[in-house]
Structure 1
Amino acid sequence: MKILGIGSRINHASYGFGVVTNVTAKHYWVTFQKDGLETLDLDEEFEVIEACEDDVDTVSFYDVEKSLREILERFSDVTQIVPLADKYKNGTMVLKPADSNLSVKEIPINTFWHKIVMLRDRLRVMEQKINSSDLDDQAKVDLQQYITRIYGSLTTFNVLFASKEQQFKGSGK
């Protein structure tokens, strides 16, 4: 039995026309026109419309989608959704001056939170751009140390994060 490669086109009795988008040791992942993604056993019966070699240098749809998502997250200004800790949702930050003649300032915590998340995401983009730049290694290390110190300065706001994995992390010194 010859294994089909990614990009092979088939016609299945139940699912209709489809394209092989991934191949594993036991299955084909096939995207069908009507039913979407289905897995088929390698020895399952179907008509091969056009076969691609299994050793062709191709990638699966999953790999393309994963790579695209990583690139967009790394190099865009699109911010990911970062949940605010439940106890602070819809809360208010109160800034009270020491001088009682001055007025108190209240800021919706959701507005403040949005600014913190944008700051964090833009720091990450800057970090990636520095790492992929043409700067010499020493300049990259120097700039990376500044970014690490900035993250460390922002750890005060970690109390606002719902998820520990998304918090700011400094150098840990």
Structure 2
Amino acid sequence: MNELAVGTRVSHPVYGEGIIARSHLTIYEIFFERGGKSEMSKYNEDLEVVEVPADAAPRTGLSLEEIEEAITFVMDKYQGITHVVKMADKWKGGMLDMKPANPELQSKEVPMEAFFHKIVMLRDRLRVLEQNINSHPKLDDEDRIHLQQYISRAYGSLTTFNVLFADKKDYFKGQGK
């Protein structure tokens, strides 16, 4: 289906007739007679065009807001631009077994790949936090340094998990020399 203009009347087998109120990067906001406001994918095959407004100009390009939405989506999806981090081969297929001190309580097993993925996500989020602190317009240098010290200490607390990484370049590093 081609890009539809705001004001286009459409029909949907469940919601009936509706009018496109807003057009986003991948969805339309449509007000339906039976379903009220609904967001639908622009690729929804159930939408049928009933009437195109006479003054509808074909839309070209993306608005700044749509570009920002797309970039935010990609950054959220991939937690920033990162390289692939590999787990050391000796841990592949392994299990992390957490046993409580109380033998009456059940232990918890976690696949090492899942645990490693969470450690890498934590590291990447700390890096994004570090970037946000460094580029924050309202923080002065003293505040930045103060917050950076907390992040460095957090990295230092996580050095125990360096054993999971295949490459030393991916290791956590604390405030050491």
The TM-score by the shorter chain falls in which range? 0.5 to 0.7
- Partners of 1:156 and 1:145 lie apart in 2 by 19
**Match for residue 154 of structure 1 among 145, 158, 174:** 158
Amino acid aligned to 2:160: T
2:22 is matched with none
- Partners of 1:149 and 1:104 lie apart in 2 by 30
1:170 is matched with 174
Residue 119 in 1 paired to residue 122 in 2?
A: yes
DSSP 3-state at the match of 2:110: strand
Amino acid aligned to 1:106: E
Residue 97 in 1 paired to residue 100 in 2?
A: yes
**Can you give the 5+ residue segments of structure 2 that lack an aligned partner in the other structure?**
1-73
DSSP 3-state at the match of 2:173: coil
Residues 40-119 of structure 1 mapped to structure 2, 5 A cutoff? 77-78=79-80, 79-119=82-122
Amino acid aligned to 1:77: Q
Amino acid aligned to 2:153: R
Q: CA deviation at 1:103?
A: 1.6
Residues 26-41 of structure 1 mapped to structure 2, 5 A cutoff? none
- Partners of 1:103 and 1:154 lie apart in 2 by 26
State the identity %.
Answer: 59
RMSD of the alignment, in Å?
A: 1.8
DSSP 3-state at the match of 1:141: helix
**Match for residue 143 of structure 2 among 123, 139, 146:** 139
- Partners of 1:118 and 1:80 lie apart in 2 by 12
TM-score normalised according to structure 1 size: 0.54
- Partners of 2:124 and 2:114 lie apart in 1 by 16
**Can you give the 5+ residue segments of structure 1 that lack an aligned partner in the other structure?**
1-71
Number of equivalences: 100
